[in-house]
Chain A
Amino acid sequence: MKQAEKEDYLQNYDLLKKRGKPFFPYAVLKDASMMLVVFVVVAVMAIVLGAEQGPKADPTTTTYVPRPEWYFFFLFEVLRVLKPPWLVPIATVGIPTVAIVLLLLLPFYDRNAERRPERRPIAMIAAVMSISAMAYLTFLGASAGTPTEIDQPAPPGTEAGLQVAAQSGCLACHKIGENGNDGPGPELTEIGDMLPRAAIARSLQVGPAIMPSYAELPPKKFDDLTAYLAALNGNE
């Protein structure tokens, strides 16, 4: 921004300010009304929606599908879009970091003196695209299923493992046949063909990348689960 543009702005602002009204009581009244609206909205939500308490946290089971709060969906869903393991750090750290830096430095690279939205086409297009992307990803996150049933026969002899897989919330991040969500984790439909049982067990214990570790499952359940996954070969 050039010096002349700065002076121009300050002068114009000064004129507008001279014709303005004092903060008290005019702006204060508006602010207070808005605060009242906020209070009523929060209180009504608290009364109507309440504060439900789920079952107590239990590291030995994952009977709950891990989901973030809705306002983190747009970040979490990036993981579904960028699924390959080598892209995971880009989705988890790279993209949010770039977004934050772009946001922080906005006034320093947008040096256009124009303030009217209709005369800032690039800024407006960028903003509308960012907002649409965030809204779309939030919608994806909100509409992602949280199924705890696997509607597909287990390979013979591994029915118990199918139950464990369903209860443990695998489908929140993995797909088995037609069930579950496609990401952030890889599809498990043919995982038995791709990995030996020992490797599957190791993955469950370690929890690669962002996956939680299942090492705390009771040994019987853990064995059932690995047997089931190792038997998945895509043939039903």
Chain B
Amino acid sequence: MPKLPVPAPLRRPSKPGEGGNGASSNGTEGGPGGGAMEQAKHGAAEGASGVAGWLDERSGATGFLTGMLFRKVPKGTNWFYTLGSATMFAFAIQAITGVFLAMYYTPSATQAYESITHLTNDVFLGEFVRGMHKWGASVMIILVFLHMGRTFFFGAYKYPRELNWVIGVVLLILTMVMGLTGYLLPFDQRSFWATVVANNITATGPVVGPYLADFLRAGPEFAATTISRFYAIHMLLVPGLIAALIGAHLYLVVKLGTTAPPWLKGEKPKSLRREEVG
């Protein structure tokens, strides 16, 4: 185990009674690895002191954090395995730029367009932030599909990670819903008419289609409330769901461990022992 540049608080041991939090509950991954054990011994002498110690005594966070940080990533993990975190990062870009856009945006049929003109032309870095949000959406979609492709081709959706595949597909759908609802908000000709067609497409659905279309439009016609309805779905409902599901997705990744490339075979315990010593 090489010496790692770990900040001091994370080297502290788990407090009594919370050892199960990070390390041993991760049954399938075989604990957080030798590193954490070593550090636990190390930290016992240090004792809990300062802000980190105070927080840890009340939250048990370090046990979880060391378990998460020092969990082992299987041999052979390559660059394809960065696509998931890259997708999450793209979502973070969308969330942060979205907050700044919301500070200037007026969700009304009469002022939406003008508020974006103002944002684009007058606000410091306004066009840049709007550009990042617009193109970040495309990049996020591409990353979602690449991440899904990696999961499919490497067979990573198989036992025991079936549930995480299902969560991932729901996240894909929610990401597409973000694209659809966000498209109306600039309220130019393109976004308006494309949304009219999208809504008509919704209305062709059997049984619930027409009702769903009426719900999205907030009535039988496009009206003043349509845009605020799309805005609420786009910046409150769906991002909340996405954030919660990313949390569940990550929890399962940490709990079950990232997959290894499918063509690798684990070696016999003999060579393993040699590795651990050396």
Report which A residues bind B (CB closer than 8 A). 1, 5-6, 9-28, 30-31, 33-35, 37-39, 41-43, 45-47, 49-51, 53-59, 62-72, 88-89, 92-93, 100, 103-104, 106-108, 110, 112-117, 120, 123-124, 127, 131, 169, 207, 209-213
- Contact in complex: B135, A211 (CB < 8 Å): no
- Contact in complex: B29, A72 (CB < 8 Å): no
Closest to A27 in B: B73
Distance in angstroms from A131 CB to nearest chain B CB is 8
Task: Please name all residues of chain A whose beta carbon is closer than 8 Å to the beta carbon of B128 when the two chains form the complex.
Answer: 43, 46-47
Q: How far is the CA of A51 from the CA of B119 in the complex (A)?
A: 11
Which of A17, A41, A50 is in CB contact (< 8 Å) with B30? A17
Task: Please name all residues of chain A whose beta carbon is closer than 8 Å to the beta carbon of B69 when the two chains form the complex.
Answer: 22-24, 28
Task: Please name all residues of chain A whose beta carbon is closer than 8 Å to the beta carbon of B133 when the two chains form the complex.
Answer: 51
Distance in angstroms from B250 CB to nearest chain A CB is 12
- Contact in complex: B190, A54 (CB < 8 Å): yes
Interface centre among A6, A11, A21, A108 (most CB of B within 10 A): A21
- Contact in complex: B173, A42 (CB < 8 Å): no
- Contact in complex: A57, B183 (CB < 8 Å): no
Interface centre among B72, B179, B198, B265 (most CB of A within 10 A): B72
Q: How far is the CA of A17 from the CA of B71 in the complex (A)?
A: 9
Classify the interface of chain B: helix, strand, loop or mixed: helix
Q: Does B70 contact A (CB under 8 A)?
A: yes
Report which B residues bind A (CB closer than 8 A). 1, 4-6, 28-30, 33, 35, 68-77, 79, 81-83, 85-86, 89-90, 93, 109, 113, 116-117, 120, 127-139, 141, 143, 149, 152-162, 165-166, 169-170, 172-173, 176, 179-180, 183, 186-194, 196-198, 200-201, 204-206, 209, 222, 257-260, 262-267, 269, 272, 275-276
- Contact in complex: A127, B153 (CB < 8 Å): yes
Which of A14, A31, A67, A72 is in CB contact (< 8 Å) with B179? A72
Task: Please name all residues of chain A whose beta carbon is closer than 8 Å to the beta carbon of B161 when the two chains form the complex.
Answer: 107
Task: Please name all residues of chain B whose beta carbon is closer than 8 Å to the beta carbon of A42 when the two chains form the complex.
Answer: 90, 93, 132, 135-136, 139
Which of A18, A38, A50, A107 is in CB contact (< 8 Å) with B86? A38
Closest to B89 in A: A35
28 contacts across the A-B interface (CB closer than 8 A)? A12-B266, A13-B74, A14-B30, A18-B72, A23-B70, A24-B4, A30-B82, A31-B85, A34-B83, A37-B86, A39-B89, A42-B90, A43-B132, A51-B120, A51-B131, A53-B117, A55-B188, A59-B222, A69-B179, A92-B201, A93-B209, A104-B170, A107-B165, A110-B157, A115-B155, A127-B153, A207-B200, A209-B204
- Contact in complex: B205, A93 (CB < 8 Å): yes
- Besides the contacts A43-B128, A57-B188, A117-B153, what 17 more A-B pairs have beta carbons closer than 8 Å? A6-B160, A13-B28, A15-B272, A16-B260, A18-B276, A23-B72, A31-B82, A33-B82, A34-B83, A35-B85, A45-B139, A49-B131, A57-B193, A71-B138, A71-B179, A107-B158, A113-B159
- Contact in complex: B127, A25 (CB < 8 Å): no
Q: A17-B257, A57-B188 are in contact. Are A27 and B77 (CB under 8 A)?
A: yes
Q: How far is the CA of A58 from the CA of B193 in the complex (A)?
A: 9
- Contact in complex: B205, A16 (CB < 8 Å): no
Which of B180, B222, B258, B266 is in CB contact (< 8 Å) with A14? B266
Task: Please name all residues of chain B whose beta carbon is closer than 8 Å to the beta carbon of A46 when the two chains form the complex.
Answer: 128-132, 134-136
- Contact in complex: B71, A23 (CB < 8 Å): yes
Q: How far is the CA of A191 from the CA of B79 in the complex (A)?
A: 56
Q: How far is the CA of A50 from the CA of B29 in the complex (A)?
A: 45
Distance in angstroms from A217 CB to nearest chain B CB is 13
Task: Please name all residues of chain B whose beta carbon is closer than 8 Å to the beta carbon of A56 when the two chains form the complex.
Answer: 113, 187-189
Task: Please name all residues of chain B whose beta carbon is closer than 8 Å to the beta carbon of A209 when the two chains form the complex.
Answer: 200, 204
Which of B29, B136, B266 is in CB contact (< 8 Å) with A11? B266
Task: Please name all residues of chain A whose beta carbon is closer than 8 Å to the beta carbon of B89 when the two chains form the complex.
Answer: 34-35, 38-39
- Contact in complex: A57, B162 (CB < 8 Å): no
Distance in angstroms from A116 CB to nearest chain B CB is 5
- Contact in complex: A18, B158 (CB < 8 Å): no
Distance in angstroms from A79 CB to nearest chain B CB is 8
Q: How far is the CA of A166 from the CA of B1 in the complex (A)?
A: 70
Q: How far is the CA of A219 from the CA of B93 in the complex (A)?
A: 46
- Contact in complex: A21, B73 (CB < 8 Å): yes
- Contact in complex: A22, B70 (CB < 8 Å): yes
- Contact in complex: A23, B68 (CB < 8 Å): yes
